[in-house]
Amino acid sequence: MDLRIAHLYPDLMSIYGDRGNVIALEQRARWRGIDVETRSYTAGDAFDVDWPDLLFFGGGQDQGQDVVGEDLQGPNGDALRRAVAGGAAVLAICGGYQLLGHEYVPETGPAIPGLGVLDVTTRAGKRRFVGNLVVRAVGPDLPGMICVLRATLVGFENHSGRTYLGPAARPLGRVLVGHGNNGEDKTEGAVQGKIVGCYIHGSLLPKNTWLADQMLTWALVRRHGEVTLAPLDDTAEAAAHAAAIKVARSRP
């Protein structure tokens, strides 16, 4: 088996260690003997619709989102929508998550239209949500998710955006520590088909390995049919997860 990862806008949308998610996906695939190729695409590049199995879209400042938003209004936007319709899995963090939705309205400046592949809308608030974030995943009532019952996710958040879910999107989890989507409804993130968006930086996947394996499984299905990933020894990752939750709970 081989895996193709497209890293979207790494020069404009990769803050707070988000690139670590690509490294984690590559390494967890390679540890299972799966060849991996990662290609980067940025504004103005011609996006290859049929190539990627998995799209990664990191976070970014409002300024970067402006440039990316414009690029998404062009042929790359259509190409990304077709790649998603063609079965590519998507993981998006913070600013990338916001731009998968209908629009992101920053505190200053015009609204930035999003890709519209995730039924969410984001509006900036006056106060930034900054700090540790712990989430209880709402699986297994998320169709097709191999979520471990009552699994948790941990990392940190830094955003002004408040995200609200429409009927087609399901929350990824419930907030235990932190603000999450909007600091009001206790939801965090969104899942729709094989698209996962969330506000968890850190980077997310190295210490939340069940979600990494979920994304890999969804990505590999596209060209390889049903796959069951061999378990890995996640002792270190589990310890990092537990330690991060302890810190987050000690400093709510």
* Least distance (Å) between residue 131 CB and ligand GLN: 12
27, 213 Cβ separation under 8 angstroms: no
Q: Which two tokens stand for residue 20?
A: 């670590």
d(CA 224, CA 193): 18
CA distance 144 to 243: 29
User: What is the distance of C-alpha 88 from the center of its chain?
Assistant: 13
Q: Residue type for 225, please? A: G
Catalytic annotation present for 94: yes
Nearer to ligand GLN, 62 or 71 (CB): 62
CB of 148 to ligand GLN, least distance (A): 27
Q: Shortest gap between Cβ of 191 and ligand GLN (angstroms)?
A: 19
Closer by beta carbon to ligand GLN, 29 or else 204:
204
Residue 27 or 42 having the CB closest to ligand GLN:
42
15 vs 79, which CB is nearer to ligand GLN? 15
Catalytic residue chosen out of the listed positions 159, 179, 201, 241:
201
216: left (phi over 0), alpha (psi -120 to 50) or beta: alpha
201 is catalytic: yes
- Amino acid in the structure at residue 156: F
76 is written with which tokens? 């790359």
What is the rounded distance in angstroms from the CA atom of residue 56 to the CA atom of residue 14?
10
* Residue 236 main-chain phi, psi, to 5 deg: -65, -40
Q: Which two tokens stand for residue 139?
A: 């699986």
CB of 215 to ligand GLN, least distance (A): 19
Q: Which of 94, 159, 179, 241 is catalytic?
A: 94
In angstroms, give the least distance from the CB of 69 to ligand GLN: 11
Residues that bind ligand GLN (CB under 6 A): 15, 59-62, 65, 94-95, 158-161
Buried b / exposed e along 162-198 (16+ C-beta atoms within 10 A): bbbbeeebbbbbebbbbbbbbeeebbbbbbbbbbbbb
Residue number of the CB closest to ligand GLN reads 59
Indicate which residues carry an active-site annotation: 94, 201
